[in-house]
Each structure stands twice: as C-alpha cells, then as structure tokens.
Structure 1
C-alpha cells in the first residue's frame, strides 16, 4: 500500500458505504478521532488494528505490517539515504532479537 494508513481506512470506509459514525463506533473511537486519522492529522492508534481487521475481514498480520511500515516511514522520510538506513536498522533488529532470545534462555 502506498497510501497512508489513514487514507486506506478512508477508502475501506467509502468502498463499503459506511459513515464516519458507523465505523468509529465499530472501532470504539470518536467520530472526530476517525476523521483526523483519515485526514492524516492524527496517528492510527495501534489498538484499533484487531477491530479494523475483524470488521473488514482483513489479515491482521498484514495490517500490522502496514502500520509498522508507516511508523518507520514517518521516522525516516526526511533522510536522503533511506535504503542504507533501513539496512542498518534491519541489522540492528537482528542483533537485538538475538540478545533478547539469549536472555530468555536458561542454561544448566
């Protein structure tokens, strides 16, 4: 998805003929909050992802992936060399994952 997460939610809502009020109620958020999300004036709260997934019968893992990729994109978009930045972040994530895994291992 190249659009923002808010634009994607707006498209889902529009394509399904839903009002802001109806979708906001299904997601358990205020109508004004949903409007701000759709217009890019507010970030998507992570806790609505499972509700969004269930309401539109979407794959939750894919939604989480899109959500996280947007958060990362928001952090790095001002940088010129995003590819090298993402490669460095991937290496760091692998390293952190090994540390966290080792910390959880009990040795006898």
Structure 2
C-alpha cells in the first residue's frame, strides 16, 4: 500500500512533469510539495483534492491514502495502536448509526 506522497510522486513522474510546474499549477510552494512527496509534511484535505484533480487521480483513493497516513503517523509508535484502531472503528460505526436514526 502506497503512501500519499508515493502516489503523488509516482503520478508526477509518470506524467513527466517537473516539480516546479506542479507548484505553479497548484499554487503550492515547490519545497512543500517535495516534502509531501517524501512524507516529511502533511497536506491539508484541500491540497489533497487539488492533487487528485491535477493528476486525474481517483479522489476517494487519494483521500483514503492521506487519511490512513495521518492515522499511521499518529499511532505507529503506540503500544496499543491496533486496539485503539478497533475501538475507533466501533465508535465511528456507533456515531454513523446514531446519525441515521
């Protein structure tokens, strides 16, 4: 499973677009995009959607990669990460069921 940064880097390289051009088109600093690609900085959801549109990537898949990266970076070093994820999944299901009532 690829990270958000790996996905956008691969898309850029496949389209043979230089970083400077991406930065100009998306109005995001070139150094920041480079950090996104290397996983050193996390984009906002708005920026994720810009990348999806620019590279013609599946928006849902890119957002899922971005969200999963956020979770992994927050929990990777925690001893109870998997248990916390299971509890969070149950809470999400509970909240969604309450909204549908």
TM-score band, normalised by shorter chain: 0.7 to 0.9
Q: What's 2:32 paired with?
A: 33
Q: What's 1:5 paired with?
A: 4
User: Contact between 1:10 and 1:38, CA under 8 Å: does it hold in 2?
Assistant: yes
Matches within 5 A, 1:40-59: 40-59=39-58
User: Contact between 1:5 and 1:70, CA under 8 Å: does it hold in 2?
Assistant: yes
User: What is the total number of aligned residue pairs between the two structures?
Assistant: 101
User: Contact between 1:6 and 1:44, CA under 8 Å: does it hold in 2?
Assistant: no
Higher relative contact order at CA 8 Å, sep ≥6: structure 1 or structure 2?
2
Please give the per-residue CA displacement for 1:1-43, whole angstroms capped at 9, x wherever unaligned. 23x3223222221222111111112222111211121222211
Asked which structure has the greater CA Rg, the reply is 1
TM-score, L = length of structure 1: 0.78
* Alignment root-mean-square deviation, CA: 1.9
TM-score, L = length of structure 2: 0.83
Unaligned stretches of 5+ in structure 2? none
Unaligned stretches of 5+ in structure 1? none
Q: What's 1:24 paired with?
A: 23
Answering whether residue 91 of structure 2 is matched by residue 95 of structure 1, we say no
Please give the per-residue CA displacement for 1:47-70, whole angstroms capped at 9, x wherever unaligned. 122221122221111111111111
Q: What's 1:72 paired with?
A: 71
